[in-house]
Amino acid sequence: MKTKRVRLGVNLDHIAFIKKSRDTLYPSLADAVKVTEDAGADLITIHLREDRRHMQDADAFEVRECAKVLNFEMAHTPEMVDFALKLKPDFCCIVPEKREEKTTEGGLNLKDLNALDLDLFRTNIGRLREAGIKTSLFIDPDKESVKLSKELGAELIELHTGDYANKFNSIDEFDALGDLSMASSYANDLNLLVNAGHGLNAENLAQICEIPYIQELNIGHSIISQAIFTGLNDAIEKIISIINNCD
C-alpha cells in the first residue's frame, strides 16, 4: 500500500451502539479494531459520552488493549479528564457535548469561555501532556478558535467539517471549503497539526483531502453505514482508496 498523505481514523462508536442497544457481548469491539487496522486505517477513534449512549467504560478499555493508536474523544469535564488519564490513549480530542444532540453538532465555543474556564482547559491539557497524551480541540474553522487552541496549549486541532458536509453540492459549498482551508493554513502557521472530521463520506471526501495541511481525518457514521452492506473491511478500503487517489 502506498503511503497516505492524509491518515484515517475510524470512529467505532456506532458498533458500540449496536452492542449497547441489547446489552450483548457482540458485536466485539476487539474484532472491529482488528478488521479496521487490517484494512489499513491508521488509528481507532472512540467517544465516551457522558450519557454512555454508545461506548461504555469497559468498551473503551477493551479498545485501548488492542488498538495500536487510540484517539479518545471526550467532553471537558473532571470525570472525563480523570478517565482519560486512566485509559491512556495516544490522543485526546476535546469536544463539546450536549445531551439532546444526535451527534457533536459544532465545535467548542472557546470564544465565550471566561478566564477561569480557559485556565481549566490549559491545566487539563497540561495534565494530559504530562501523561504522554497529545490533546486536540474540536473547533469550527475560524481564525479565533484556532488562535485560542494554540494559546491553550493544544498540539493539534480537529476542524469540524459538518458545515461543509451540510453545504456539499450547494452554492455555499465553496465558502465552507474556503473556511476550512483558511483555518488549516493558519493552524499550520501556528505549528498546530490539523485533523478534520464530521459528516464525511465517499461522496464529499475528495475535496477535503485536497486542503493543505490536513493530516488526519476521523470518519465514523458513513463507514459503519456502508459496512452494513459490504462489510467493514470493504467500507474502510473504499475510503482509503479515495484518500490515496487525492495524493
Q: Which residues form the interface with ligand PXP (CB under 6 A)?
A: 11, 13, 47, 73, 93, 95, 103-104, 138, 158, 197-200, 218-222
| In the complex, least distance from residue 33 CB atom to ligand PXP, rounded to whole angstroms | 17
- The answer to whether residues 195 and 217 touch, using CB atoms and an 8 Å cutoff, is yes
> Is the Cβ of residue 89 or residue 220 nearer to ligand PXP in the bound state?
220
Residue 135: Cβ-neighbour burial (10 angstroms; 0-12, 13-18, 19+): buried
Reading the block at residue 137, the C-alpha cell is 480541540
Reading the block at residue 19, the C-alpha cell is 452492542
Q: Report the 10 Å Cβ neighbour count for 29.
A: 25
CA 165 – CA 161 distance, rounded (Å):
6
Select from 123, 112, 52 the least CA-distant residue to 81: 123
| In the complex, least distance from residue 43 CB atom to ligand PXP, rounded to whole angstroms | 12
Task: Verify whether residue 160 is a known catalytic residue.
Answer: no
> Is the Cβ of residue 177 or residue 219 nearer to ligand PXP in the bound state?
219
| In the complex, least distance from residue 115 CB atom to ligand PXP, rounded to whole angstroms | 26
> Is the Cβ of residue 119 or residue 241 nearer to ligand PXP in the bound state?
241
> Is the Cβ of residue 27 or residue 119 nearer to ligand PXP in the bound state?
27
| In the complex, least distance from residue 93 CB atom to ligand PXP, rounded to whole angstroms | 5
- The answer to whether residues 143 and 182 touch, using CB atoms and an 8 Å cutoff, is yes
Select from 22, 35, 2 the least CA-distant residue to 12: 35
Active-site position among 54, 76, 160, 198: 198
Task: Verify whether residue 50 is a known catalytic residue.
Answer: no
- The answer to whether residues 175 and 145 touch, using CB atoms and an 8 Å cutoff, is no
Task: Verify whether residue 73 is a known catalytic residue.
Answer: yes
> Is the Cβ of residue 122 or residue 221 nearer to ligand PXP in the bound state?
221
| In the complex, least distance from residue 49 CB atom to ligand PXP, rounded to whole angstroms | 9
Active-site position among 37, 54, 62, 73: 73
CA 42 – CA 216 distance, rounded (Å):
9
Q: Which residue has the cell 488498538?
A: 67
CA 194 – CA 62 distance, rounded (Å):
28
Q: Which residues are catalytic?
A: 47, 73, 198
